[in-house]
Structure 1
Amino acid sequence: MALEEAAAVHPVDKIPPPPKMAAFGLQHVAAMYAGVVAPPLIIGESLGLSAVQRTLLIGASLFTAGLATLLQSLGIWRIGARLPFVNGVTFGSVAPILAIVAQPVSGNPLSVVYGAVLIAGVLAFLAAPFFSRLVRFFPPVVNGTVITLIGLSLMPVGIKWIAGQNQSAPDYGSPARIVLGAVTLVLVLLLNRFLKGFWNRIALLIGLLIGTLLAWPFGLVDTSTFEQAPVFHLPMPFELGTPSFSVSATLSMCVVMLVAMMESTADMIALGEIVDRPADESTIAAGLRADGAGSAVSALFGGFTCSAFAQNIGLVALTRVRSRFVVAAAGGILVLLGLFPIAGAMVSLVPQPVLGGAALVLFGSVAASGIRTLGRADLGDPFQQLIVAASLGIGLIPVVQPEFYEHAPAALRTVLDSGISTGCLAALVLNLLFSRRKAAAEAS
């Protein structure tokens, strides 16, 4: 009887043994660490913060990302998708935040940012049940297109990690970086091919570790963070800025939050397909509430807008570890990294070329899941073919040419510069258009 009950538990709700759960959780943190620390690092540098202040800003982002991830994966009441869903600072908020802090204000410019994020988070929480009703407009042809687009849109991120973020840097696209990325890619593939059981599940983590050790002799491992990171620091409310309010800043962050909600909806649908627990309307509403609540709490502790991390969806697809408690363990690790910045400095040792080589597999896994979902659509129907073709083309515009919309109004660029958002909107509109036309043709 006990065996039958255990077998009835969905893989998403299974609790692995603590050692495995910790290893799987650490793997999730390694996959998303660079994405969490990049926004506060960029914002801190633009504000001219000292090294210690930047460290505190990064620590706050890690701490709040951990809280948001715990909220999403474990859930409280009707808050949290209760899926292996990782949350953290969305990179889509960086450009609007930089625009806000560039405006002349009296006092701490971060205070205006935190006020805007706080209001946007509360409004997102309240709007979640209405926004979640969009799920009825996501048949397989839309789901598959959006999931595929998520994977393809992330590919440039991995490639930039390999080549370098700054084209004027001396080592940009250097043979050492490219070889290191390629070696890591091959390592991850070979480890997934030949390792068995538990070791197969942490193949990515092993690949990152070996890649980091190989990078050390080439001087690509940066240890300077240890010189700046304090051993322990407890993030306190309003420590980095007491929220103050600006109408223009709030409107800007509300648009960012709207885009984040759209991407989170697409990510939850993608993750539901991967873990064989489809994200219904109530799941999406709960997940969006967690995005809003996580963002509001983040603003209090010095973080920024929180949203889904698509690279971790790729990790779930790659490792086939579907337990939400593994992601909860990752959330706990993120909280500890926020409390112990010196530990976060250890994770940051992984060079970006190594991370980029592994990321190509992760992001490709997301795209492959989208293609699998498209297999359930009727692509023999020319209308559905057009939906896929046009939506992918529109969604890839800002991916292939990031400056394509540079002459568009700033408010629109927040949406247009997100290939996931534009592709998702295109797929939704085209599906409505062609499904009605097909229904009319069949009726006549």
Structure 2
Amino acid sequence: PTPFYFGMPKFELSSIIMMCIIATVSMVESTGVYLALSDITKDPINSTRLRNGYRAEGMAVLLGGLFNTFPYTGFSQNVGLVKLSGIKKRLPIYYAAGFLVLLGLLPKFGALAQIIPSPVLGGAMLVMFGFVSIQGMQILARVDFANNEHNFLIAAVSIAAGVGLNNSNLFNSLPTAFQMFFSNGIVVASLLAIVLNAILNHNKKEK
């Protein structure tokens, strides 16, 4: 790969703001992935490990931009894969990473991966994303809804808006950048949850 194949970076305020928002939402999603993996593997997670995870993803995003690829983050479907396979050690992940590098360097192996039928991939995705949803529900069930009615409102509004506005045609008349932002259910749900929590729970001390 040729670094900066498409040219040197250009700094535009609107793009910077949009990327910061998307990066924040991506961090929220990654936090959910870390918490879910901690719950599945029974391996406690603390603020230091969370911070290290954010730094690792930041480095991956930086390298992705340097080598003309997409930004890389912790994908939530991998949580379902861990749950489905029952493999909770790091060593198989290292083998899988080496295998992926091999696929990238040898086109013939990449071609073999591409001939996997779409229905097979779709079935696997259905199961893995289902696991992610159930794991998220289990984490959400630990939230204190009984003693704090605000949490119930925050969760209800965020989830409803995220599902309802995902790939919605409601914002077709807005500029393209805003369409990308408001038609992404994860973005809308995450930001609503953050803002509503800051407003409604600003004077409450959570354990």
- Superposition TM-score, scaled by structure 1 size: 0.41
2:8 corresponds to 1:241: no
Q: 1:301 aligns with which of 44, 62, 67?
A: 67
Seen in structure 2, the aligned counterparts of structure 1 residues 250 and 374 have a Cα distance that, compared at 3 Å, is: closer
User: Aligned-residue CA RMSD in angstroms?
Assistant: 2.7
1:201 paired residue number? none
Q: 1:374 aligns with which of 134, 140, 153?
A: 140
Seen in structure 2, the aligned counterparts of structure 1 residues 388 and 308 have a Cα distance that, compared at 3 Å, is: same
How far is 1:320 from its partner?
2.6
- Aligned partners of 1:374 and 1:383: how far apart in 2? 14
| Amino acid in structure 1 at the alignment position of 2:190 | C
1:311 paired residue number? 77
Seen in structure 2, the aligned counterparts of structure 1 residues 256 and 432 have a Cα distance that, compared at 3 Å, is: closer
**1:232-258 CA distance string (max 9 Å, x none):** xxxx433x8164132338535555444
Q: Does the residue aligned with 1:307 lie in a helix, a strand or coil? A: coil
How far is 1:389 from its partner?
1.4
**1:377-433 CA distance string (max 9 Å, x none):** 23334333222211210111233x432333344444444333223212222333344
Tell me the matched-pair count. 202
- Aligned partners of 1:274 and 1:268: how far apart in 2? 10
- Aligned partners of 1:267 and 1:332: how far apart in 2? 22
Q: Which has the higher helix share?
A: 1
The answer on whether the counterparts of 1:317 and 1:365 sit within 8 Å (CA) in structure 2 is yes
Seen in structure 2, the aligned counterparts of structure 1 residues 433 and 309 have a Cα distance that, compared at 3 Å, is: same
How far is 1:288 from its partner?
1.9
The answer on whether the counterparts of 1:275 and 1:322 sit within 8 Å (CA) in structure 2 is yes
**1:140-175 CA distance string (max 9 Å, x none):** xxxxxxxxxxxxxxxxxxxxxxxxxxxxxxxxxxxx
Seen in structure 2, the aligned counterparts of structure 1 residues 415 and 342 have a Cα distance that, compared at 3 Å, is: same
2:114 paired residue number? 348
How far is 1:328 from its partner?
2.3
Of stretches 290-299 and 425-434 in structure 1, the one that deviates more from structure 2 is 425-434
1:197 paired residue number? none
| Amino acid in structure 1 at the alignment position of 2:50 | I
**1:198-220 CA distance string (max 9 Å, x none):** xxxxxxxxxxxxxxxxxxxxxxx
2:161 paired residue number? 394
Seen in structure 2, the aligned counterparts of structure 1 residues 243 and 402 have a Cα distance that, compared at 3 Å, is: same
Q: Does the residue aligned with 2:115 lie in a helix, a strand or coil? A: coil
- Aligned partners of 1:415 and 1:303: how far apart in 2? 21
The answer on whether the counterparts of 1:241 and 1:302 sit within 8 Å (CA) in structure 2 is yes
Seen in structure 2, the aligned counterparts of structure 1 residues 411 and 326 have a Cα distance that, compared at 3 Å, is: same
| Amino acid in structure 2 at the alignment position of 1:241 | Y
Extract structure 1 runs of 4+ deviating beyond 6 A: none
1:416 paired residue number? 182
- Aligned partners of 1:275 and 1:411: how far apart in 2? 39
How far is 1:309 from its partner?
1.4
2:43 paired residue number? 277
2:53 paired residue number? 287
Seen in structure 2, the aligned counterparts of structure 1 residues 242 and 423 have a Cα distance that, compared at 3 Å, is: closer
How far is 1:301 from its partner?
3.1
Seen in structure 2, the aligned counterparts of structure 1 residues 437 and 394 have a Cα distance that, compared at 3 Å, is: farther
Structure number with the bigger relative contact order (C-alpha 8 A, sep ≥ 6) is 1
- Aligned partners of 2:22 and 2:155: how far apart in 1? 26
Q: Return the index of the structure with the highest Cα Rg.
A: 1
How far is 1:269 from its partner?
2.8
| Amino acid in structure 1 at the alignment position of 2:183 | D
- Aligned partners of 1:412 and 1:280: how far apart in 2? 35
Structure 1, unpaired ranges of 5+: 1-235, 440-444
Q: Does the residue aligned with 1:321 lie in a helix, a strand or coil? A: coil
Structure 2, unpaired ranges of 5+: none
How far is 1:343 from its partner?
0.3
